């Protein structure tokens, strides 16, 4: 397996992992306080967009941190 393929697989797995974690954690958030019809399709779509946005931020942070920490070996 090529290193680029391994990195791509790692990115996919990390993104999916954090997508599931963020979706799971947002289930405890009370959207009924902020939206008019929390069981409607617009509210569900909003929750999907919020989940994707937060999981993208978290997975990007994690992958950037991993890349930078792997580059530390070139320091010395």
pLDDT, tens only, 15-28: 999 999 999 999 99
Whether the pLDDT of residue 46 is over 90: the answer is yes
Exposed, middle or buried, 3 (CB in 10 Å: 0-12/13-18/19+)?
A: exposed
Whether the pLDDT of residue 42 is over 80: the answer is yes
Distance CA 30, CA 72 (A): 42
pLDDT, tens only, 51-62: 999 999 999 999
pTM of the predicted protein model = 0.85
- Residue ranges of the alpha helices (H) in the chain? 3-26, 41-71
Whether the pLDDT of residue 1 is over 80: the answer is no
CB-based contact 23:49 (threshold 8 Å): no
DSSP secondary structure string for all residues of 43-61 = HHHHHHHHHHHHHHHHHHH
- pLDDT for 22 equals 97
């Amino acid at each position: 397996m090529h290193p680029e393929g391994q990195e791509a697989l790692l990115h996919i797995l990390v993104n999916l992992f954090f997508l599931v974690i963020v979706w799971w954690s947002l289930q405890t958030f009370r959207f009924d306080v902020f939206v008019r019809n929390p069981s409607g399709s617009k509210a569900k779509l909003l929750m999907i967009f919020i989940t994707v946005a937060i999981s993208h931020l978290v997975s990007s942070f994690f992958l950037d941190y991993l890349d930078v920490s792997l580059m530390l070996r070139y320091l010395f």
